[in-house]
Amino acid sequence: MQSKNGIPDSRNRTHSDAYPSPPFEHQKQPFPGLAKNMIPVPDHGETSYKGSDRLIGRKALITGGDSGIGRAVAIAFAREGADVAINYLPEEEEDAVEVIALIRAEGCKAVAIPGDIRNEAFCQQLVTQAAQELGGLDLLINNAGRQQFCESIKDLTTEAFDATFKTNVYAMFWITKAALSYLPRGAAIINTASVQAYLPSDNLLDYSQTKAAIVAFTKSLAKQLAPEGIRVNAVAPGPYWTVLQCSGGQPQEKIEKFGASAPLGRPGQPAEIASLYVTFASPESSFTSGQVWCSDGGTGTL
């Protein structure tokens, strides 16, 4: 069932079989792509996520907040009472406008900050602007990612390798470092890793390396920041139905059967993972740090 704006209406979904399963239509978008053009459109929780005031008064910065998992987290955080700033590429403005409207519909402050996080100066500006416009910062979600498949190391260019590491690893380092000037005791940092850190695919050589680096960064930084009362955790998604996949993240033959190999027989929808980020962000998880929480449809990777 579709709602009037084309977003899946998932209010009555109570079990796994209610979500779309492969085969999916042939579809390809130029990088970075738009979620609104996917078939089917991903469920980010637009109609399904119900908050319970777990993040009242919190102020969050989410990179990659226009679509996919970042969008689902932004919606969930707002419905839990948090003010939210999202970062995204300028080409993703159409998706971002929808997210900003959804955040504001909850009565929360919404800040849109487009820009390329492969640039260190922009990363520093991003954090400063988010903290200033939100009136503080106590939740940082390093979620933005670059994934472009390449079948052979012989064809993987230095330019592509560098772009993936700049987006997935360097930006996380730059943004986190800048955010520490604002994050108080009780703050939380949540990074988006991947099952690729543990079960890397042969055609995601550079991407899987960055996700392994994110896991190590999370565990090491958690120990470093523990004395300051700042928790650091990561979420490791398996196959999730996001625009990342059909804008170069996977070859088309894999898109059409995407998620079929998971025990649940389908890819996850972004709405199904947002609650993990909420749990890590909430004060109830005050003794949880340095952890990686996997959601992969039953494979049991972690």
Please report whether residue 93 resides in a domain: yes
Block residue for tokens 């958690």 = 222
Locate 159 and state its tokens. Answer: 């330019």
Domain that holds residue 74: 53-295
CB 61 within 8 A of CB 130: yes
Is residue 301, in this structure, part of any structural domain at all? no
The count of other CB atoms within 10 Å of the CB of residue 26 is: 11
**Side chain identity, residue 7:** I
The helix (run of H) or strand (run of E) holding residue 131 is helix 120-134
Take residue 151 and report the two structure tokens written for it: 């079948």
User: Does residue 236 belong to any structural domain of this protein?
Assistant: yes
Mean pLDDT by 10 residues, the chain (302 residues): 46 63 91 93 94 96 98 98 98 97 98 98 98 98 97 98 98 98 98 97 97 98 98 97 93 92 95 97 97 93 70
Number of domains in the chain: 1
Q: What is the pLDDT of residue 17?
A: 65
pTM of the model: 0.93
Q: Could you tell me the end-to-end alpha-carbon distance of the chain, in angstroms, rounded to an integer?
A: 34
Q: Which helix (H) or strand (E) holds 93?
A: helix 93-105
Kindly state whether residue 13 falls inside one of the protein's structural domains: no
Q: How far is CA 210 from the centre of its chain?
A: 15
Report the distance separating Cα 234 and Cα 107, nearest Å.
28
Query: Does residue 45 contact residue 3 with C-beta atoms inside 8 Å?
Result: no
The residue behind tokens 């999916």 is: 24
Indicate the SS3 state at residue 164.
helix
Determine whether 277 is an active site residue.
Answer: no
- 59-63: strand order across its sheet: 110-114, 83-88, 59-63, 139-142, 188-192, 231-237, 292-295
In a domain? residue 46? no
With respect to residue 188, please indicate whether it lies within any of the assigned structural domains: yes
226 domain residue, yes or no: yes
pLDDT at 4: 41
70: left (phi over 0), alpha (psi -120 to 50) or beta: alpha
Of 182, 207, 240, 277, which residue is the catalytic one?
A: 207
CATH of the domain at 127: 3.40.50.720
Asked whether residue 24 is domain-assigned, the answer is no
Distance CA 150, CA 14 (A): 37
Nearest to 283 by CA among 213, 231, 222, 244: 231
